Chains A and B, each alone.
Chain A
Amino acid sequence: MATEYHEPLLEQEPGSDQRRQRDSADGLARSLLRRGWRWHRSATATSRSSEVSSERTLLSPLMLRRPLVRFCYWAVFLLLLVGTLTTLGPLYWMVSGALKSNVEIFQRPPTFWPAHPQWSNYSNAWQILQLPLYLGNSLILAAGAVLLQLLVSATAAYALSKLRPWGRSAILFAFFATLMVPPVVYLIPQFVNISDLPLIHVSLINNWAGVWLPEAANAFNILILKSFFDTIPGELTDAARLDGASSWQVFIRIVLPLSRPALAVITIFTVIASWKDFLWPLLVLSNSNLQPLMVALYHESGLNANLPFSYLMAGLVFASLPPILLFLLFQRQIIRGVNLTGLKG
């Protein structure tokens, strides 16, 4: 795996490169990343060592042989098992609720198991909620987000890491300072901005670009990619240059292919974030033919929407399937990404 190959380089670099350490924004970024990598390494170590199952934690193997400790251990195990009911229970409630008839779903007291499972609820909801349309819209919004974010952040990270233009520490600072400003505090001016862009006076309301463009300004992606590109040895890119490769060719043929793990993490996170996004698409896309599934569900759940409640639940199940499937498929990358960024959600 490419990451394992790069790690030692990243570890020794700050000590050997004095000039870079002086540059504070860069220093912050790389130390954040170093922390990230340490977490990442420990996270991968987790998955490896759990197979070996001979690692040392708070409890010593010796202690575990004492009967009282064993009892406590299994008590905690049982508690955790019951605890998972608090997360899996609501999920079960949603999936089974979608199977109930419209009388049963409002029955008092509620039934814990649908008396007559109505599997047709799912197919009916699929049609009544116009899921093909909204799932498609969500998909297009996610695909556009991935393409645009990768393009914007990878080119910027490449320039900052390998081409190193003058004033890059100021540019780095200008990028990373935006991490300190939560997007909600400029939600209102952003909306005014989108509805009448400066200089060109174009409105992006009811336009997918109005969702894509603002979320493309993602400093975390640049941070992750830049630090990843930094670990690619300069000898590699220099050798390609001697062979006559242009900067663009070095970028496309060498830097990007070597960074596949980082690109994968960013892609997965972007897809999931775009899928979950609600408030901004709600504000920008008022035309229901353009809305993603989350916004459509919000409108359908309104009191005047007159939608059978079990259909809404079925819609929720459909909405949560893609991110859950993505998580099950890419668990490793996602856990690594969470540890890399320390991000919530």
Chain B
Amino acid sequence: MSLSSSSSSPLSPAQESTPLLTSDEGLMTVRWALVQRRGGLRRRRRWALWRQVQGYLFLLPALLIFALFVWYPVVLGFVMSFQSVDLINPATWVGWANYRHVFADPLFAIAWRNTLAFTGYALLFGYLVPLVLALAINEMRHGKSYFRLAFYLPVMLPPIVTVFLWRWMYDPDSGLLNALLSLVHLPGRLWLEDPQTALPALVVVATWSAAGSTMLVYLAALQGVPASLYEAAEIDGAGFWRRLWHVTLPCIRPIMLLMLVLQIIATMQVFIEPFTITDGGPQHATLSILLLIYTYAFQNADFGEASALSVLLFLVLAAFGLIYLRLTSRMLQGD
């Protein structure tokens, strides 16, 4: 509705029936308000546009960084897996040759087997440990914060410190482990030199350094279990174990599932322990996928083959990532 038409048209009955102002004054007020409104609209639209521009200006650093250092390398990885790249000569297209080489490499199967074994052992050793710790610490009426601190401390150590410390503790002659065994008159072992024990030994290191943070997450989740549920269960005559099984565990089950998936994803990326402690040995018993990728790229200077193996690892991890995503979104709907 334009301003001129409103001023020339007769006043509506509604306006006549409320003669707070004389008709002239009323008209002036309406006109003035409309002018204001129109100018305001234009100004508001311009301001909205400026706000858009500002929004993108504020986003610019993040967009640039993400584009250059995440989105581009992810795409580049897929492209490179079909190329021969050695960083000296220009990249050339080789089709599926990298993938064929990777699959033909006898180390491929060994590395996958080791990585899956590592993940399996890590679940075996490491999945229940943080949960049991958290359950026990949560029940403690004394020294709770000391326990939390003591069990969390290894998480704070830099991985390089952890691996060198443990490499020394595993030392057959001067290491702590064999010394403790000899205290109770048990024979020592060549922990890292024996293909049988090398991989589990590395799993112990990884579990030692990671269990604390999972424990902390469980502790927080346990705090979220409502006391009324315990009281209700108790009134219904449920004993300790039944309360644990029917109240505590169902309450933290979503977190347990989440931690399971996160642990699988994290342990399949195992690198620093085999890289620094055993260097993939003995007899490739601790060669992990990521270590193989590293070897392809930085020892054989074959970045194409390394990318092809990375893509394969990515596909496996992405499957678990999707599970993680579904779990979180289901948990969120449950909220």
Contacts and interface: CB of A to CB of B under 8 A. Distances in A.
Contact of A84 (B68, B151, B158, B325): B151
A32 interface: yes
B107 interface: no
Nearest to A323: B156
Chief secondary structure at chain B's binding surface: helix
B105 interface: no
Interface string B42-75: 0000000001101111111111011011111110
Contacts of B61: 151-152, 155-156
Chief secondary structure at chain A's binding surface: helix
Given A80-B137, A217-B66, A91 B56 contact: no
Given A60-B234, A159-B55, A278-B158, A106 B174 contact: yes
Given A28-B332, A107-B174, A344-B213, A319 B224 contact: no
B161 A186 contact: no
B230 interface: yes
A245 to B, nearest CB: 12
B200 interface: no
A185 B224 contact: no
Contacts of A163: 51-52, 54-55, 58
B185 interface: no
Interface stretch (B9-17, B21-29, B108-116, B214-222): B214-222
B236 interface: no
A8 interface: no
Interface in B285-335: 290, 293, 297-298, 303, 306-307, 310-311, 313-314, 317-318, 321-322, 324-325, 328-329, 331-332, 335
Contacts of B176: 89-90, 93, 110
A153 B258 CA distance: 26
Interface residues of B, number: 119
B150 A87 contact: yes
Interface in A281-318: 283, 294, 297-298, 301, 309, 312-313, 316
A193 B76 contact: yes
B227 interface: yes
A181 B319 CA distance: 11
A130 interface: no
Interface in A210-229: 213-214, 216-217, 219, 222
Given A58-B230, A189-B307, A195-B87, 5 more contacts: A93-B169, A156-B58, A185-B77, A313-B168, A345-B209
Interface of B: 51-52, 54-63, 65-66, 68-74, 76-77, 80, 85, 87, 133, 135-147, 149-161, 164-166, 168-169, 173-176, 179, 182, 208-210, 212-214, 216-217, 219-224, 227, 230-231, 234, 240, 243-244, 247-248, 258-259, 262-263, 265-266, 269, 271-272, 276, 290, 293, 297-298, 303, 306-307, 310-311, 313-314, 317-318, 321-322, 324-325, 328-329, 331-332, 335
30 contacts: A27-B332, A28-B329, A34-B332, A39-B221, A76-B136, A90-B165, A90-B169, A110-B179, A155-B61, A159-B57, A159-B58, A165-B51, A171-B59, A178-B71, A180-B325, A181-B318, A191-B297, A217-B62, A217-B65, A276-B158, A278-B159, A279-B272, A294-B160, A309-B168, A327-B153, A331-B149, A338-B213, A339-B220, A342-B217, A344-B266
Interface of A: 27-28, 31-32, 34-35, 38-40, 42-43, 45-47, 50, 53, 55-60, 63-64, 73, 76-77, 79-81, 83-84, 86-91, 93-94, 97, 105-110, 112, 151-153, 155-156, 158-160, 163-166, 168, 171, 174-175, 178, 180-182, 184-193, 195, 197-198, 213-214, 216-217, 219, 222, 247, 251, 272, 275-276, 278-279, 283, 294, 297-298, 301, 309, 312-313, 316, 319-320, 323-324, 326-327, 331, 335, 338-339, 342-345
